[in-house]
Structure 1
Amino acid sequence: MDAFMSQESYIIMARILSAACLAGLIGAEREYKRHPAGFRTHLLVGTGACLAMVMALFGFQSYLEENPGVSAYDPSRLASYVISGVGFLGAGTIIVQGVSIKGLTTAASIWVVAAIGLAAGAGMYFAAILTTVVVLLSLFFLNNIERFFRSSPRDEKIEVMLDNQYAALSEIVEMFEKENVLVKKVTGSADNTEQQERKISFVFHIEGSNQMNRTHLYDQLVKTKGVLEVEMTLPS
């Protein structure tokens, strides 16, 4: 047992456990926000990267000692393969929906936890911990700053008059989702006088921005089955 748990074994155990903990912290944040790659994925990527780094540092010592004439050994080569390989895993979390792309932050976090695992595997605990803190701060708090630099969103209202004999409300909501328009609230006027004429109106409260193509959105609404009238105010 003593031979198995040598000083080198304790070092390897400390590095792998530290990588698992640091990567797990970032994964917990992704899990909390219900992203495709969560706690287990990040923990596994960070731990695997750490193991690869530990193997590069300690796994070939006996071979090098038995073959002193072998060419120069560079442990960083294995680490570079880990970084490039993790890129394919991160690409699997990216989802393209129309003109929008989702999952880039999760893909980046997977790449970062691989680097954190490599740093922990190399014994660079300070760099690994500092990077984890920076990543967590960016994921938790910098999202609001990122929104500040984007075009300022504002609530807008779109009133849609429907023929009551068609169930077109679900189609309108699906159309908004397809156009990547965030619907914050829907209100209906079911008790107005027009209800007697088999008509009903809905007011969609959406989050608008300067990039939103309102003319295209208006055309799509008018073409929707059951839509009789659309009233929307274009920003000045």
Structure 2
Amino acid sequence: MFRLVIAAALGGLVGFEREYNKHPAGFRTHLLVCVGACLIMLLSMFGFQTYMEANPEFVNFDPSRLAAYVVSGIGFLGAGTILVQGYTVRGLTTAASIWVVAGIGLSVGAGMYIAGLFTTLIVILSLIFLNKVDESFFRVRKKSELESIVIHAEPKDTTLLSIIDIFEQHKVKVKKVMVERDNTSEKEELLRYQLKVLYPNEKVKLTSIDELYKLKQVHKVYSL
């Protein structure tokens, strides 16, 4: 019971940070994962002692087997927190935190309290402080390099593929794609594609825009 309570506390600490920042998996999810992993470890270490004592000649004891299944099986839960929106992937950090919390639960279940506590501190500090470093340095740098391009085109099945193909031919990195109906067009139904792209240089930018205009389904192209 003591180990389960410790696991709940450590998993809850990590989950609180995720919940506070409104991520897909929050306080309850991390707490439950940590407690569940701790319980599996306790079951693996102590759950079969009576049977093993009664049948010593038939049982080969390996307490790491159930723990190994936790490590591999937690990937399915982590995958559920990953969201793909266009070319943007979100939730990888939360998936990683769930995986680490499972490891913390296994450590506490095995009686490695110091390792579990130290790992929890590292995870919380990295989620809080490294996120601030990322926002203040890396994202500012990324925003300064990324450019927005808007394309008004006919809603055909090959339209987006043709646009992406042009950018790929010129080694333009597409970071995000947003699609919505073009309400400004009165003549015919069009879609408005807004892409966040990273051009290698100004020449490539002009060339790719010129080739976009050559697509029959494209009506208008401009940068924001």
Does TM, scored on the shorter chain, surpass 0.5? yes
- 1:23 correspondence with 2:11: yes
Return the offset for 1:96: 1.5
Return the offset for 1:97: 1.8
| Residue number in structure 1 paired with 2:118 | 130
The 1-side partners of 2:20 and 2:131 are apart by 15
Return the offset for 1:99: 2.0
Return the offset for 1:151: 7.9
Contact 2:108 2:116 in 1 (8 A): yes
Task: Compute the TM-score of the two structures, normalised by the length of structure 2.
Answer: 0.67
The alpha-carbon distance between structure 1 residues 132 and 209, as it changes in their structure 2 partners (threshold 3 A), is farther
The 1-side partners of 2:100 and 2:61 are apart by 26
Please give the per-residue CA displacement for 1:101-153, whole angstroms capped at 9, x wherever unaligned.
Answer: 11110110110100000001011000000000000011001124445457813
- 1:54 correspondence with 2:42: yes
Return the offset for 1:210: 6.0
Matching residue's letter, 1:152: R
- 1:113 correspondence with 2:101: yes
Please give the per-residue CA displacement for 1:170-200, whole angstroms capped at 9, x wherever unaligned.
Answer: xxxx744xx3x4xxxxxxxxxxxxxxxxxxx
The 2-side partners of 1:58 and 1:133 are apart by 28
Ranges in structure 1 where 5+ consecutive residues have no aligned partner: 1-12, 161-165, 169-173, 182-207
Give the count of matched residue pairs: 183
- What are the equivalent positions in structure 2 for 1:1-236 lying under 5 Å apart? 13-146=1-134, 148=137, 152-153=141-142, 154=144, 167-168=183-184, 175-176=193-194, 179=195, 181=196, 230=222
Which of structures 1 and 2 has the bigger CA Rg? 1
| Residue number in structure 2 paired with 1:3 | none
Task: Compute the TM-score of the two structures, normalised by the length of structure 1.
Answer: 0.64
Return the offset for 1:72: 2.2
Contact 1:151 1:209 in 2 (8 A): no
Contact 2:52 2:59 in 1 (8 A): no
Deviation beyond 4 Å, 4+ runs, structure 1: 155-158, 208-220, 229-232
Ranges in structure 2 where 5+ consecutive residues have no aligned partner: 151-181, 185-191
Between 138-147 and 68-77, report the one with greater CA deviation: 138-147
The alpha-carbon distance between structure 1 residues 214 and 20, as it changes in their structure 2 partners (threshold 3 A), is farther
The 2-side partners of 1:113 and 1:53 are apart by 13
Contact 1:50 1:120 in 2 (8 A): yes
The alpha-carbon distance between structure 1 residues 54 and 81, as it changes in their structure 2 partners (threshold 3 A), is same
The 2-side partners of 1:68 and 1:105 are apart by 45
The alpha-carbon distance between structure 1 residues 151 and 70, as it changes in their structure 2 partners (threshold 3 A), is farther
Equivalent pairs: percent with the same residue? 52
Return the offset for 1:98: 2.1
Give me the CA root mean square deviation.
3.7
